[in-house]
């Protein structure tokens, strides 16, 4: 079978599926992506090709439709990439796209006989979209809900629609529910697993700004936070605001923050560079224990797992939006968790598996973190729901593909 993956990023959510199909000699697998350096991270048996949008949306386009115009331009770029593959003799039997950004808009026009599966992550509603903006007046609400125009079109065109979690699926209108199949991206529980019994409480981590590495000693209590983006939708402002009191009350507490200083989903900080990290460091100023906050930047997977194993309390905060992979990875590692009480997190974490806090109540955050820091007991059995495991993901994708092939 000729299989084509299409994603703006690479390999992103398709990593495991691309690796699995690429290893099967019965398939020819191509990955079409906008990522320019994708070839630096090859997957055996997978050919990598690039597509590039010809231009950005015009400034004069109605601002409600900027995102719509961008998705159309994305769809055209993908179409040119697929046409080039056809000219080279590669005709896909199965196309799997990351949907919602227009990548699958025109696939059926060029490949009417191919089976098309879309991976859909989100349906925009006022109740959840408001967390992506500093303010959410009616004008912004109307603009955000029109993001669904292209999502709806891609839902209409695909042969099957996959959504990662049941909670995400519940955001879609009832009319689309029969078409949705819930298949999570899959956590590799052979790698993200409970810590070994002889794990050392000493740890050394690279420091984002260079210089000597962060040294965590056995006597230290460790509070950690990890994120793709330090931003409001992930509760980063609330986490930072909690640190001065926590550090002042515990001289043995060390804080490690892993991830990028950027906004992946929500709005920037009120400063020229938009950095929430710098905004809060300036807002908080000098305080006792400030030197015990360590920013590591992005960690290697090995260091990140070591952090999840060693930490005494790991904060995974989120407003009602897409859940972070890091939450599921922490669950698989039996990491002591402090989580925000939102419907999305409640769908993945059992009540007894974490300390629960209210992001809008600073006292609740302080109490939740202190409770977890003072309770060093870890779960003895892996608490990750097996529906979120890599094995379950592979099984789910195979079922969807087999249904279409049959």
- pTM for this one? 0.92
Q: Provide the pLDDT for residue 208.
A: 84
pLDDT at 120 over 90: yes
Span 41-67, pLDDT tens digits: 999 999 999 999 999 999 999 999 999
340: three-class secondary structure by DSSP: strand
Rounded CA separation 362/366 (Å):
6
> Where does 2-186+389-405 sit in CATH, by number?
3.40.50.2000
The count of residues in the chain is 406
CATH architecture, domain defined by 203-387: 3-Layer(aba) Sandwich (3.40)
Span 182-201, pLDDT tens digits: 999 999 999 999 999 999 99
Distances (CA, A) of 383 to 69, 176, 309, 330, 391: 43, 32, 14, 10, 16
Q: Provide the pLDDT for residue 379.
A: 55
pLDDT-derived band at 211, boundaries 50, 70, 90: confident
112: three-class secondary structure by DSSP: coil
User: What secondary structure letter does DSSP report for 389?
Assistant: B
pLDDT-derived band at 385, boundaries 50, 70, 90: confident
Copy the structure tokens of residue 72: 């159309």
Mean pLDDT computed over 278-297: 95
Q: Provide the pLDDT for residue 207.
A: 87
Fold: same for 2-186+389-405 and 203-387 = yes
Copy the structure tokens of residue 192: 């993200």
Rounded CA separation 258/79 (Å):
38
Q: Is the peptide bond before 208 cis (omega within 30 degrees of 0)?
A: no
Domains of the chain: which residue ranges? 2-186+389-405, 203-387
Rounded CA separation 68/100 (Å):
10
Copy the structure tokens of residue 362: 């600073």
Percent of the chain residues past pLDDT 90, beyond the cut: 92
Beta-carbon contacts of 333 under 8 Å, excluding residues fewer than 6 positions away, are 192, 193, 194, 195, 305, 308, 309
Copy the structure tokens of residue 345: 């997190």
């Amino acid at each position: 079978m000729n299989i084509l993956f299409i994603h703006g990023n690479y390999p992103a959510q398709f990593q495991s599926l691309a690796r699995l199909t690429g290893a099967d000699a019965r398939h020819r697998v191509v990955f079409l992506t906008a990522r320019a350096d994708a070839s630096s991270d090859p997957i055996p048996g997978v050919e990598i090709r690039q597509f590039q949008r010809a231009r950005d949306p015009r400034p004069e386009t109605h601002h409600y439709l900027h995102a719509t115009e961008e998705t159309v331009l994305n769809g055209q770029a993908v179409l040119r990439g697929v046409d080039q593959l056809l000219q080279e003799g590669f005709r896909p039997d199965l196309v799997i796209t990351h949907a919602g950004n227009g990548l699958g808009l025109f696939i059926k026009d060029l490949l009417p006989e191919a089976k098309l599966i879309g991976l859909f992550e989100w349906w925009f509603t006022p109740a959840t979209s408001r967390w992506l903006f500093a303010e959410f007046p009616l004008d912004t609400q109307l603009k955000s809900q029109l993001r669904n125009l292209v999502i709806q079109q891609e839902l209409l065109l695909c042969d099957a629609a996959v959504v990662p979690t049941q909670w995400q699926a519940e955001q879609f209108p009832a009319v689309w529910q029969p078409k949705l199949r819930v298949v999570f991206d899959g956590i590799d529980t052979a790698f993200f697993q409970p810590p070994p019994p002889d794990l050392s409480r000493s740890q050394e981590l690279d420091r984002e700004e260079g210089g000597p590495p962060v040294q965590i000693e056995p006597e230290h209590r460790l509070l950690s936070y990890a994120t793709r983006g330090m931003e409001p939708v992930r509760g980063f402002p609330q986490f930072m605001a909690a640190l001065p009191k926590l550090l002042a009350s515990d001289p043995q507490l060390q804080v490690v923050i892993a991830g990028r200083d950027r906004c992946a989903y929500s709005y920037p900080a009120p400063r020229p560079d938009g950095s929430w990290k710098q905004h809060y460091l300036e807002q908080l100023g000098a305080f006792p224990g400030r030197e015990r906050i360590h920013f590591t930047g992005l960690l290697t997977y090995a260091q990140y797992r070591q952090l999840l194993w060693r930490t005494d309390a790991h904060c995974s905060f989120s407003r009602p939006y897409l859940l972070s992979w890091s939450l599921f990875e922490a669950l698989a590692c039996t990491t002591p968790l402090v989580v925000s009480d939102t419907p999305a997190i409640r769908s993945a974490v059992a009540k007894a598996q974490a300390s629960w806090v209210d992001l809008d109540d600073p006292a609740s955050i302080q109490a939740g973190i202190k409770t977890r820091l003072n309770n060093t007991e870890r779960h003895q059995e892996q608490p990750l729901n097996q529906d979120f495991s890599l094995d379950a993901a592979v099984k789910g994708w195979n079922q969807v593909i087999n249904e279409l092939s049959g």
